Amino acid sequence: MPCLLKVALKKEENEETQKEVEIALLALSNIECYEMNKELYLSEIKEIIKYHQEHQNLTRLAYQSAWEILINRFYKDEILEDVMVNEAAKELEELEKCVDWKRKEREVKEKERREESVIKRWMHALKFYLRFSELWNEEHVELIRNVVQIFRDLRDNHREISKIFIQSLSEAAHCKAVKVEDLLISGAVDNVLEEMKQSTLYDELMWNFLHFFLKLSERLKEKESNVAEEEKRKELKRKIFEKLEEEGYEDFIKSFNGRFDLLYRKRVYKLSIIISDYFLNV
């Protein structure tokens, strides 16, 4: 750990040093959580990030790795959490502009391939964050909106990469730190509804779409103890119900009736085989 941090803190502006820093940060970002010590590395990682923001000395991969260290270890830190969500949203927005998602896979340029790799790493880190985060952040809407936008850009020609984005939306629906209204405002609900119509039950993307609505349904069925919050829940539930009804969601799910057992044969245990679990009633 001390050796890797010492290398990562190098500030010389040459290609060899830049590569060493990148490798050191990449290694640090892959160390298991329980092996890390907050006092040992937190101030150093923050220094690396701050220096880059002032001098732009890191590659995108190195910068992402530095943030991944913080995201994976401090997703419950109230002070750092706001900054992490803001930075992730900003980086995804910038990276999205660097790649031509409309071109075919065989036409990919080496620089774009590197950018894609960094985007995938951001998304894997965000999947982890959305799975375990316990702190609500008002910037969740912007972050999820960026995830939705990139997915829309890449879904036609980059099906494999798009799985990571849909899985992240699925984790967001499951995460109590993300408000249900955030999923509605950000366009996540509309996007998943739209995509479901183009997939089949045998499509791995569909499993994540179903998981998204399964978790959404579960959360909207949970009554609030606070009277004002309970009224908000009912109103939000009504809005989403009307949207689903307008899009023919219930008929679509019913068309799968009797085939959900196929998911268990494929070991998709996170999904329910009870069809009513996917529905909302007002």
pLDDT tens sequence across 152-168: 887 777 777 788 888 89
Backbone dihedral region for residue 175 (phi beyond 0: left; psi -120 to 50: alpha; all else: beta): beta
Of the chain, the percentage scoring pLDDT greater than 90 comes to 26
Interacting residues of 4 by C-beta distance below 8 A, sequence separation 6+: 24, 27, 28
Q: What is the pLDDT of residue 124?
A: 86
Indicate the average pLDDT of the chain: 83
Q: What is the pLDDT of residue 100?
A: 67
Q: Tell me, what amino acid is at 241?
A: F
Q: What is the pLDDT of residue 39?
A: 64
Q: What is the pLDDT of residue 208?
A: 85
- 97-106, 121-130, 239-248 — most confident range: 239-248
Rounded distance, CA 239 to CA 236, Å?
A: 5
For the residues 6-12, what does the mean pLDDT come to?
A: 90
Length of the chain: 282
Query: Is the predicted pLDDT of residue 276 greater than 80, yes or no?
Result: yes
pLDDT tens sequence across 216-252: 999 999 998 899 999 999 999 999 999 999 999 988 8
DSSP per residue over 114-132, as a string? HHHHHHHHHHHHHHHHHHH
For the residues 42-70, what does the mean pLDDT come to?
A: 88
Q: What is the pLDDT of residue 238?
A: 94
- Other beta carbons within 10 Å of 207: 21
Structural domains in the chain? 1-73 (no CATH), 79-278 (1.25.10.10)
Query: Is the predicted pLDDT of residue 106 greater than 60, yes or no?
Result: no
Positive or negative, the Cα torsion across 195, 276, 180, 203? negative
Of the candidate ranges 53-57, 69-73, 142-146, 249-253, the one whose mean pLDDT is the lowest: 69-73
Contact 63, 52 (CB under 8 A): yes
Query: Is the predicted pLDDT of residue 91 greater than 80, yes or no?
Result: yes
Q: What is the pLDDT of residue 268?
A: 65
Which has more confidence, 206 or 33?
Answer: 206
Interacting residues of 2 by C-beta distance below 8 A, sequence separation 6+: 40
pLDDT tens sequence across 36-53: 566 667 888 888 998 888
Q: What is the pLDDT of residue 266?
A: 64
* CA distances from residue 206 to 98, 200, 263 in whole angstroms, order as listed: 28, 6, 11
pTM exceeding 0.85: no
What angle, rounded to 10 degrees, do the helices at 140-154 and 188-196 form? Answer: 30
Positive or negative, the Cα torsion across 270, 77, 89, 37? negative
Interacting residues of 269 by C-beta distance below 8 A, sequence separation 6+: none
Q: What is the pLDDT of residue 231?
A: 94
For the residues 14-40, what does the mean pLDDT come to?
A: 81
Q: What is the pLDDT of residue 42?
A: 80
Query: Is the predicted pLDDT of residue 109 greater than 70, yes or no?
Result: no
Q: What is the pLDDT of residue 104?
A: 59
